[in-house]
Structure 1
Amino acid sequence: MSNNLPSIKIERPLYEYQKLREDLNYEKTKKPYKFCKNVTCKKIITSTIPAIGWIPKYEKTFVLGDLAAGFTIAVMHIPQGMAYALLANLPPVNGIYMAIFPVLMYFFLGTSKHASIGTFSIAAVMTGKAVLEYSDSETSPSQVAAILTLAVATIQLIMCFLRLGIVSTLLSDVLVNAFTAATACQIVVTQVKDLIGLTIPKVSGNFLAIRTLMKIFENIGDFNVAATLISVISIAILVVSNEYLKPIIAKRTTIPIPSELFVVVLGVLTSQYIDLPNKYHIKTVGHIPSGLPEPSLPPISLFPSVALDGLSLAIVCYVTSMSIELILAHKANYEIDPNQELMAMGVSNVVGSLFSCMPISASLSRSTVQLVVGGKTQIVSIFSASILIVTLLSIGPFFEPLPRSVLASIIVVALKGMLMQMKQIITFWKLSKVDSTVWIGTFLTVVFVGSEIGLLVGISLSLCSVFILSLKPDTSLLGNVPNTDLYLDIDRFKKAKEINGIKIFHYCGGINFATKNMFRDELYKMIDLNAQKELLLRAKLKKLQEQFEKNKDGKLTEKMNRNESKINKCIKYLIVDFSSVTYLDPSGAEMLRSEFNNFKKLDISFYIAGCSDRVYNTFERCGLISKDENYLRIFSSIHDAVQCALFNLGAEENQAEKSNKIEEMELAELV
């Protein structure tokens, strides 16, 4: 097929970079000063409250889809909210509050049409750690969760003000994968006690999983058979529904089976009619107040204590939500504003803190269902919240007899996807040993130490991996494919040949204070240049020439010719390919100046080819560019540099031939 492709023939002048700028009317771009330019009151309001912009454009055809999605999401919120509130060591009703008050604020401020905001397993377990640590006789668990939520809100709003939406890039896919998988393991360990109806002392602080397992094994003889049986039945129903029934029904309808709600209702009815708490000592959800809570300020005095926990939670919740929202936005073809999302989550958490909520995040399972069922806009949140308000006002106490083992079963089954992420370590290991090191380090630290420290370790390892990879630049020697302007790695492309007297060194990466010595070492290694040997050889030749001028000795002429032939095999022109150099700092530029002078002493011309405009500007600022021969020559491409070198080599050969003829004539006259 390649034989049918047309050939390319181009005629143009040979360009040094400065000449290229002059001939093609180069002009530095000026970034416009945008602050307060063309900004109207309407734009400020609609950008701050996006709902004002899209609500007037809402189409009536969306109502049925949004209503169906709202009902489905409300049904999912009830069991998930109660289960994750239990995971956070909070009253189960708090999880339902999270699906109402913060969600209503996100409706006005958020930019995602399909994000289902509310409880999230990882946020719940991180909140639960803080609740155990700071709650006491004076401060209730709900108050600790509320002040933690306020801390998260404060941090997210500060990040929004500083426009730090880019912070989501700090957490790589590898890190997030390891963190979520490890947190899932930690959650499963914390749920074992409820799955088997065991009562153990509360465990808080670091090494939570290990200490919890130790307590479980110490008290394993006291497990409750009835609670264990309830857990087994609940898990079996959920697994059969998720693995077998849901895929079959999904082929016929988009409305999913509310298996979690079914298990909850079944657990409530069984507990109520068999009287499980009294007959079999089953722990239940307990009192659920009917109606809506009154807003109250959290204990501000506790803010400094939970600030560090709030920082890690703010980042985790934001990054998780952004990851989910970007996936859904890509599927539905619309845009997400990262900084506006920070504001939306921050304000939503402020409101949530007034109603004893823990920090909110988007849920992948609920958000995916919202999209699949037919939800088109965030009106889904209004419908969902309305249904939940009616539920709390009317049938809230109905859930009081629910066994805690049922909620623990829901949590464990819901974590299957996160637990299965552990298998991806095999893929990461095959693709990159550096990435797999980040995964293993993050996973082990989260599981055996704690979520916050694990997150910090993961971020540190990720940044270190980036730094290490930047210190391993890609270098090669390039050769020319005959009769073309292609220059390829001579080790990989056997038809690419080096040009006599010319070495072309390719470098990929940044050249800065940390990598400048590596650049120099790689350069000398690749071109196989022994500077000391070259200097001695040229000094010897110069001395012979001086003696010849005095004595006109034939033996000296012979020695000169031998040394000259050795030097002719050496490099005359060194071309450094800068097309893949991403950054050059003043330290790197100073190193290049020094190397330019060193090669000049060796009578080797040092050319740079194909640098970016940004790098060229650094050369200018550092005073390395001038029309004077004592400065660097920079060409627009490798081919331009090679053609210039070949032209100069031809001129040098002609001059050498003339000199040889003159010497021969002088020797003939002497004879």
Structure 2
Amino acid sequence: MGLLQIGFVSVYLSDSLLSGFATGASLTILTSQLKYILGLKIPRPQGWFTLFKTWYGLLTNIGKTNICDLITSLLCLAVLIPAKELNDRFKAKLKAPIPFELFVVIIATLASHFGRFNAEYGSGVAGAIPTGFLPPQMPSWSLIPSVAVDAFSIAIVGFAITVSLSEMFAKKHGYKVDANQEMYAIGFCNILPSFFRCFTTSAALTKTLVKESTGCQTQISGLVTALVLLLVLLVIAPLFFSLQKCVLAVIIVVNLRGALRKFLDVPRMWRVNRVDASVWLITMGTSALVNTELGLLVGVLASAFFVLGRTQRAQILELGRADTREHYEDASSYRGLQVHPKVAVFRYAAPIYYANQSLFKKCLYKRIGLDPVKEKARRVKFNKSKHQEENGGKSNMKPEENRPEAVTLMLDQESSRKLHSLVIDCSGVLFLDTAGVNALKEVLKDYGEVGIKVVLVQCNPSVLDSLERGGYFSTATVTCRFSLSIFSKHPVLLGVTYGKNNGISLKTHISKTSQLLYLASFI
């Protein structure tokens, strides 16, 4: 994945998605640690809905709570929570945070050892920890066909979790993360350990939160962690035989408080942006209630769905002109704007592509008040009946020649509006695909058949190129189209001429009088 430079997929992990995923995973981790805090010996549930399965196991076995583990957990909580708040409050004045977790581990280990908590009270302890390394050996290549699909899934999830955590803390501490570099790191970290039968390497939410909350900021922390683990594996592992599991669980729970505080921000997130808040809630709920890995996938799909939905909800806005200057804006949002009686100006602030091209045409026809397809059919029917009535009067006029100079649109019962030109502001159209070009060609053709000229303005070079390659200008009834800058105080008229070789030439006319003459002659 690193060699193929697939790191670009990390851009689809939005801030709300990462925050929701971290919070949902934190709930799952918190629930999994409760059995150690209560001293319950229940099997770890597998599969989906582990949160419900875990709570069911806790509630059905609550009567078997180990009092020694519970008291130890409460004492550790009473020490660590104020200590962590103290570190957070004075972290600007402290050169290094005070390692209260280390003090708690040492004191709890000594108390458990000399108090014989395991033998006297049945408290759960770490027990015997094997020391040393297993001898290296070659992987079993015969297992590859059986584990290839699962290995691919693990790689994808491991990358997503690693990048999501990296992005989350990078934003918090003000630095950038190279997703491709993370892929290289994960890949190299899995090559050598694979010969020693190690677990797959990736970022771990719990350990990352613990290290971040204790003030670790550089790779030196990783080196120190590796050296300590090396000492544990080779020398001092037996010293932790009497360490209670509930102490480790309390340390994890205390360091999850930052992620759990995100619930307090939900009302503010909802007021700021309901779409982002919805992505957060969906990702968090799926990660916590269903499955952690599935929550990440659902979050990405939900984000894509909402982005797609925004393009589907884009509306056609009719623009009006201010009295004192050539400035066009949404007529329904501002007062005092004038609408031209014979020229309708509309804006569509979304790309036109296969998913919304039919919606674009439908919304445009509705806003104008005239469906050209229905109008053309009505005219054909009217002219046909009229032709039949005049057939005895030796009339040689063809039905399609009987076309009015302007089309009357009934906006309400008291007013009418005659249009002969339609201007579409394409400044908000970022791109066009084949379906989008075909939609504009249909609009041009349909309105042209009912006597309304269509003009596209404010097209960016990408849109112009798509229109040219899509054959839009070859279907136009005229050989010249104009692009009017309708947003500047002194508009500039650009003549866009398309010759037989489809070459494009732009001509800028500085004179305002010339601009108006050109536009008037065209309309």
Give the letter for the 2:362 counterpart. D
Contact 1:320 1:361 in 2 (8 A): no
- List per-residue Cα deviations over 1:50-94 (Å, max 9, x = no partner): xxxxxxxxxxxxxxxxxxxxxxxxxxxxxxxxxxxxxxxxxxxxx
Asked if 1:168 is matched to 2:10, the reply is yes
Q: Secondary structure at the match of 2:192?
A: helix
Q: Write the distance in 2 (CA, Å) between the matches of 1:529 and 1:563.
A: 15
Contact 2:97 2:215 in 1 (8 A): no
Of 207, 215, 226, which aligns to 1:385? 226
Asked if 1:212 is matched to 2:54, the reply is yes
Contact 2:213 2:255 in 1 (8 A): no
Asked if 1:513 is matched to 2:354, the reply is yes
Q: Write the distance in 2 (CA, Å) between the matches of 1:414 and 1:326.
A: 18
Q: Which residue of 1 aligns with 2:126?
A: 285
Q: Which residue of 1 aligns with 2:67?
A: 225
Give the letter for the 1:617 counterpart. D
Q: Write the distance in 1 (CA, Å) between the matches of 2:121 and 2:223.
A: 41
Asked if 1:345 is matched to 2:186, the reply is yes
Contact 1:178 1:440 in 2 (8 A): yes
Can you give the 5+ residue segments of structure 1 that lack an aligned partner in the other structure?
A: 1-158, 552-559, 654-671
Q: Which residue of 2 aligns with 1:491?
A: 332
Task: After TM superposition, give the deviation of residue 360 of structure 1 in Å.
Answer: 2.6
Q: Residue 226 and residue 577 in structure 1: after superposition, are their counterparts in 2 closer, same or farther (change >3 A)? A: same
Contact 1:168 1:322 in 2 (8 A): no
Q: Which moved more, 1:401-410 or 1:345-354?
A: 345-354
Contact 1:572 1:604 in 2 (8 A): yes
Q: Residue 297 and residue 604 in structure 1: after superposition, are their counterparts in 2 closer, same or farther (change >3 A)? A: same
Of 84, 93, 96, which aligns to 1:242? 84
**Higher helix share goes to which structure?**
1
Task: After TM superposition, give the deviation of residue 427 of structure 1 in Å.
Answer: 2.9
Asked if 1:624 is matched to 2:472, the reply is yes
Q: Write the distance in 2 (CA, Å) between the matches of 1:581 and 1:238.
A: 55
State TM-score, norm by structure 2. Answer: 0.80
Q: Write the distance in 2 (CA, Å) between the matches of 1:329 and 1:181.
A: 18
Task: After TM superposition, give the deviation of residue 224 of structure 1 in Å.
Answer: 0.8
Q: Write the distance in 2 (CA, Å) between the matches of 1:481 and 1:273.
A: 86
Asked if 1:612 is matched to 2:454, the reply is no
Q: Residue 297 and residue 169 in structure 1: after superposition, are their counterparts in 2 closer, same or farther (change >3 A)? A: farther
Q: Which residue of 1 aligns with 2:398?
A: none
Asked if 1:276 is matched to 2:276, the reply is no
Q: Write the distance in 1 (CA, Å) between the matches of 2:408 and 2:148.
A: 74
Give the letter for the 1:574 counterpart. L
Asked if 1:201 is matched to 2:43, the reply is yes
Q: Which moved more, 1:527-536 or 1:612-621?
A: 527-536
Q: Write the distance in 1 (CA, Å) between the matches of 2:16 and 2:304.
A: 12
Contact 2:407 2:420 in 1 (8 A): no
Q: Write the distance in 2 (CA, Å) between the matches of 1:614 and 1:563.
A: 34
Q: Residue 233 and residue 627 in structure 1: after superposition, are their counterparts in 2 closer, same or farther (change >3 A)? A: closer
Task: After TM superposition, give the deviation of residue 624 of structure 1 in Å.
Answer: 1.9
RMSD: 3.6
Asked if 1:570 is matched to 2:418, the reply is yes
- List per-residue Cα deviations over 1:433-481 (Å, max 9, x = no partner): 4434333333333333222232232222222112111211143111122
Give the letter for the 1:303 counterpart. V
Task: After TM superposition, give the deviation of residue 530 of structure 1 in Å.
Answer: 5.2
State TM-score, norm by structure 1. Answer: 0.63
Task: After TM superposition, give the deviation of residue 174 of structure 1 in Å.
Answer: 2.1
Of 173, 176, 180, which aligns to 2:22? 180
Give the letter for the 2:158 counterpart. A
Q: Secondary structure at the match of 2:319?
A: strand
How many residues were matched structurally?
474
Q: Secondary structure at the match of 1:477?
A: strand
- List per-residue Cα deviations over 1:87-118 (Å, max 9, x = no partner): xxxxxxxxxxxxxxxxxxxxxxxxxxxxxxxx
Asked if 1:601 is matched to 2:449, the reply is yes
Of 71, 94, 97, which aligns to 1:256? 97
Q: Residue 645 and residue 536 in structure 1: after superposition, are their counterparts in 2 closer, same or farther (change >3 A)? A: farther
Asked if 1:366 is matched to 2:206, the reply is no
Q: Residue 311 and residue 502 in structure 1: after superposition, are their counterparts in 2 closer, same or farther (change >3 A)? A: same
